[in-house]
Amino acid sequence: MNPPETAAIAETRLLHKMHRAATSLLVDAAQRDAAPPAALAELRDFLVAALRHHHESEDDVLWPQLIATDPAAGAGLLELSAEHDALDAALDALAVVPVQDSEDRAGLAAAAATVRDLVHTHLEHEEPVLFPVLAAHMSDEAWTEFSRTVIASAPPVGAHLNIGFFEQVGTPAELAVITANLPQAALPLDPAMREQARTTLTSLQATNHPRTAIA
């Protein structure tokens, strides 16, 4: 029987599923004529802020912590940081693409596709490197401390979408790990944030006629 998955891997796997789903949704929704501009802007701004915060937390906090414990992991983790630099440039481009005018949707879809492709490729590279190091060196207690620090410093931009995507892609066990690390003050806000996220995501996931698809 395989040992139970650590909290670090469970939470990281859920974050990665959320990043894959959110970047894919923005590309798909940008190609739908009926996708509301306000919801597109909401998702775009959330992604730019959330992805930057995620990789900065890795570069500045998690990687040094892991390398101090396992210096042999340093080369692989630093290669991942180089990929973060490429993602930053793509996020800069995505952040300034106009969203409100329907004539700008092609530019939004193209910029979003670049981010999506970088994120999906990066996660394929990251998981085989990171998960074994987390399993070997990150206790549940140490991960809880790191996770709560990251959550506390997270930008408030589109925070409800975090919860909405987690609800869509997470297993009950993964959701339990995330919820356990939320600040107590945030827990009463959870139902309202879930409802707000459902409204936005439903409007972006609604079926309607797409523009020319971007692969």
Distance (Å, whole) CA 21 – CA 61? 25
DSSP state of 32: B
Task: Summarize pLDDT for 166-207 with one digit per residue, the tens.
Answer: 888 988 877 777 777 666 655 555 778 888 889 999 999 875
Q: In the chain, which stretches have pLDDT less than 50? A: 1, 208-212
- 3-state DSSP call for residue 98? coil
Give the pLDDT confidence score for residue 156 in this predicted structure: 85
CA dihedral 30, 34, 35, 38 (to 10 degrees): 120
Structure tokens belonging to residue 142: 């140490």
Give the pLDDT confidence score for residue 1 in this predicted structure: 46
Distance (Å, whole) CA 80 – CA 55? 9
Give the pLDDT confidence score for residue 176 in this predicted structure: 76
C-alpha distances in Å from residue 171, one per residue of 6, 18, 23, 148, 158: 15, 12, 20, 20, 22
User: 53, 45 in Cβ contact below 8 A?
Assistant: no
Distance (Å, whole) CA 90 – CA 117? 10
Task: Summarize pLDDT for 141-161 with one digit per residue, the tens.
Answer: 999 999 889 988 888 888 889
Give the pLDDT confidence score for residue 151 in this predicted structure: 86
Give the pLDDT confidence score for residue 208 in this predicted structure: 47
